[in-house]
Structure 1
Amino acid sequence: MTDAAAAKAKRNIIFLVLVASLGYFVDIYDLLTFSIVRKASLLDIGVKPADVLSQGIHIINWQMFGLLLGGILWGVIGDKLGRIKVLFGSILLYSIANFANGLVHDVSTYTIIRFIAGIGLAGELGAGITLVTETMSKEKRGYGTMIVSAIGLFGAAAAVMVAKYGWRDAYFVGGGLGIVLLLLRIGTFESGMFKNIEQATHVSKGNFFILFTNWKRFGKYLACILIGAPLWYVVGVLVTLSPEFGKALGAKDALNAGDGILYSYIGISVGGIFAGLLSQATKSRKLTMCIFLILSAISAAVYLNAKGITSQQFVWICFFMGCAVGYWTIFITIAAEQFGTNIRSTVATTVPNFVRGSLIIINWGFTALLVHYDMITSGYIMMAILTVIALFSLSQLKETFSKDLDYVEIS
């Protein structure tokens, strides 16, 4: 390769990582907007204060269900038609949905549009991580996903700041950011590994059911999903329901979920940098995941034991919890590295969205625990269950650091 060609390839990779990072930024902004404006938006459209919690969980569940369906849809499209098509199609759908969310005036319409937005949001991160892992060298791709995490997760901070100007404005800005990103993506290029198999008729591409035709493959896929569940419990329950947890803890001030999400996601961004650096330094994704899973359990215990918590203590604890669950992109990278090129986009897209969608089951389990225990005890039990399951699942996966990814799965 000539010096000019090498320089061009390097610039292409830098541009790809930047675009993937900005895509994750917009993804997180739009995904968390409802959690941030949940209370204000529901009260504004006429929901009674006593029904805000139940209606909020109902809408979140539908948004997560959309992520589940969208994960499969975009994952299959990514393996059959290419990663780039997913990046364009998904962002267009959720940008339009977010504009529409800024116009809602009733719960039913709100729910339907958040479901559609969930479908659109499902394709963003998985396709971006797949492109980065397939384009960068096997020794350095961990740095690429680390950058995606570090830049992308600040989308939560942007969402919190914009939401202070009004919940409808927050949705309008989210839609606008998506359209701007869509224009930026015109210069992106397709994965070379995908191009190598694009015309191969003998290779089964994007066959979601191939993950269930072999017990070993299915077990590996399930383990990839379960190792990420504690993170979404921390964000989707412990932080999102912080006003309710604050009352149970006897908080001296009313805890604000928006502030909690802001600081937890700043923490996730910081934690993502350390997770990326640690995995590169130790040359082990599994060791990094193990350390962070243990830290996340400790951080949740600190939160649930914070009797008489103040608003200032709350945001710092949220930052600590965020740092401890900063393994999000490492966990998706592990999933992408476990499978062949012909099914990699499907896995990398469905796994994080199945984890996000697992919030439906987690909410159900947490609600069931509340029938028998108080908020704090239920919080401890659910975190303990999810952490034990995640650690066991991690033990069933092989180390993938520096693994050659240029291969296909046999049906």
Structure 2
Amino acid sequence: MKDLSDKSTFQHLTSIPVLVASLGYLVDMYDLFLYNIVRVPSLKSLGLADDQLVKIGIGLLLNLQMAGMLIGGIFWGILGDKKGRLSVLFGSILIYSLANICNGLVTSVQGYAILRFLAGFGLAGELGVGVTLVVEILPKSIRGYGTTLVATMGVFGALLAFSIVHFFEWRVSYFIGGGLGLMLMVLRLRVFESGIFIKLKEANTRRGDLGLLVSNKTRILKYVTCIVMGAPIWFVVGILITLAPELGKAMQLGEPVDAGKAVLFVFAAQVAGNLVSGFFSQYLQSRKKVIFIFMAGSLLFALTLLLGPIEHATEYYILCLCLGFCSGYWTLFITVAAELFGSNLRATVATTVPNFVRATIIPLSSLFIFLKGYLVDNMNADINTGTLRAALITGLITYALGMVALLYLEETFKKDMNYIEEN
């Protein structure tokens, strides 16, 4: 382990481990939102009709991708605590890269579904283990800046996906994503292991054991509340943004809403949101206060989008900017998850929690589809009203649960990272 004690803040934040974790999340977000952008053109090129784009594109492919991330999060998180942070950084990016290249070669919906699952499985290890490595190697006074950098680079990954799709067709865009992952593997050869994990390994402590998590009521409650707290972010991404074309049509806007532009505006604004929330939490010395402010702002703009008298696509994009900024508490959410648990469970928690949050798109999209059908078939709502009301009800439930969960979480700003979870 290198001695970092005499380094400046800038040197800490530009060290190889921090940069590699940041670039890993960039690749992660590139793939996740590349699919959102190319969902319609890629499925149409495989022969699907317009009325199948939501059912197959969201109900099957996106849900399988998120299921892969859910399973992968558990696998990579346990591996990160048992074998080390570096083993995950190499294994996850290799699987993701190969799966993404194969995504560009797909010729059937069945093949596409399998590859989205595999890509999700590979990507699942990137964010949580990257954040774990960052919070363990940086001094606690600046680790909030480190995780802010990681999340901000991830947002640039979404913007990169939009830019690439603008110049290349969807198959080439997948090839580029796979190539970026393979190049990142080379840079990771220079990353050193977390000193906290090295000491943990030498002490032969029980680690990466789900029994430690589920056997203790306090730990499992903290774990679940972390997931619920992050769910509103994925409501914005998975419903309001991914389904932007369908929601825009339901609003009977003057022109169609483009999913790619919606992603661009959301994640361009999230760059600012990540930076502001990270620095604001350092200023206030509180994670919870800032998360509450951003979550409340997100709720306000979501209600404005679904209830307000929006008449033009431009207004939809403006609200996407606002929602993106308020979704910038993703950085703090991951940081809190990592800080809440000891080093022998930290990678497991930090890797599985964000992937469980991402996987909330499964119940959220299922609830949305159910409510839409129920309102249209049983409540005599027309298809446009049913779509908007289904999104509204789904959102209200998600935000209410998120705020209750935040209320019960402890403040972690000044918490020391060098501790373990006892049996």
TM-score (norm 2): 0.94
Q: 1:7 to 1:145 in 2, by over 3 A?
A: closer
Q: Match for 1:249: what amino acid?
A: M
Distance 1:278 1:63 in 2: 33
Post-superposition CA distance 1:150-194 (Å, at most 9, x none) = 222111111011112211011001001101111111111111110
Instruction: State the Cα distance separating 1:133 from its structure 2 match.
Output: 0.5
Instruction: State the Cα distance separating 1:210 from its structure 2 match.
Output: 1.7
Instruction: State the Cα distance separating 1:307 from its structure 2 match.
Output: 3.6
Aligned counterpart, 2:22: 21
Aligned counterpart, 1:53: 54
Distance 2:9 2:262 in 1: 42
Q: 1:398 to 1:11 in 2, by over 3 A?
A: closer
* Kept in 1: contact 2:92–2:122 (CA 8 A): yes
Instruction: State the Cα distance separating 1:312 from its structure 2 match.
Output: 2.3
Task: Report 1:257-406 matches (<5 A).
Answer: 257-373=259-375, 374-406=386-418
Which stretch has the larger CA shift, 58-67 or 384-393? 384-393
Instruction: State the Cα distance separating 1:296 from its structure 2 match.
Output: 0.8
Instruction: State the Cα distance separating 1:11 from its structure 2 match.
Output: 5.8
Post-superposition CA distance 1:233-269 (Å, at most 9, x none) = 1101111001110111111110011110111011112
Distance 1:280 1:244 in 2: 39
* Kept in 1: contact 2:310–2:316 (CA 8 A): no
Distance 1:302 1:194 in 2: 46
Aligned counterpart, 1:220: 222
Alignment match of 2:105 (pick from 86, 103, 106): 103
Distance 1:144 1:233 in 2: 26
Distance 1:311 1:352 in 2: 31
Alignment match of 2:196 (pick from 182, 186, 193): 193
Distance 1:8 1:270 in 2: 21
* Kept in 2: contact 1:13–1:135 (CA 8 A): no
Which stretch has the larger CA shift, 47-56 or 220-229? 47-56
Post-superposition CA distance 1:255-292 (Å, at most 9, x none) = 01111011101111210111101110100001011111
Distance 1:145 1:5 in 2: 21
1:67 lines up with 2:79 in the alignment = no
Q: 1:314 to 1:138 in 2, by over 3 A?
A: same
Q: 1:2 to 1:289 in 2, by over 3 A?
A: closer
Post-superposition CA distance 1:12-65 (Å, at most 9, x none) = 862222221111111100111111100000000111222111110110000000
* Kept in 1: contact 2:13–2:146 (CA 8 A): no
* Kept in 1: contact 2:37–2:263 (CA 8 A): yes
* Kept in 2: contact 1:87–1:124 (CA 8 A): yes
Aligned counterpart, 2:37: 36
Secondary structure at the counterpart of residue 345 of structure 2: helix
Secondary structure at the counterpart of residue 15 of structure 2: helix
The runs of at least 4 consecutive aligned structure 1 residues that moved more than 3 Å come to 1-13, 306-309
Distance 1:118 1:394 in 2: 27
Distance 1:62 1:84 in 2: 27
Q: CA RMSD in A?
A: 1.8
* Kept in 1: contact 2:4–2:12 (CA 8 A): no
Post-superposition CA distance 1:127-149 (Å, at most 9, x none) = 11001101111111001111112
Secondary structure at the counterpart of residue 43 of structure 2: helix
Ranges in structure 2 where 5+ consecutive residues have no aligned partner? 376-385
Task: Report 1:238-253 matches (<5 A).
Answer: 238-253=240-255
Task: Report 1:68-147 matches (<5 A).
Answer: 68-147=70-149
Total equivalences in the alignment? 410
Task: Report 1:156-167 matches (<5 A).
Answer: 156-164=158-166, 165-167=168-170
Aligned counterpart, 2:178: 175
Q: 1:141 to 1:3 in 2, by over 3 A?
A: closer
* Kept in 2: contact 1:95–1:176 (CA 8 A): yes
Distance 1:121 1:377 in 2: 33
Which stretch has the larger CA shift, 44-53 or 96-105? 44-53
* Kept in 2: contact 1:250–1:307 (CA 8 A): no
* Kept in 2: contact 1:16–1:188 (CA 8 A): yes
Q: Match for 2:230: what amino acid?
A: G
The alignment-based identity, stated in percent, is 44
* Kept in 2: contact 1:246–1:309 (CA 8 A): no
Post-superposition CA distance 1:89-131 (Å, at most 9, x none) = 1001000000000000100000000000000010000011001
Aligned counterpart, 2:187: 184
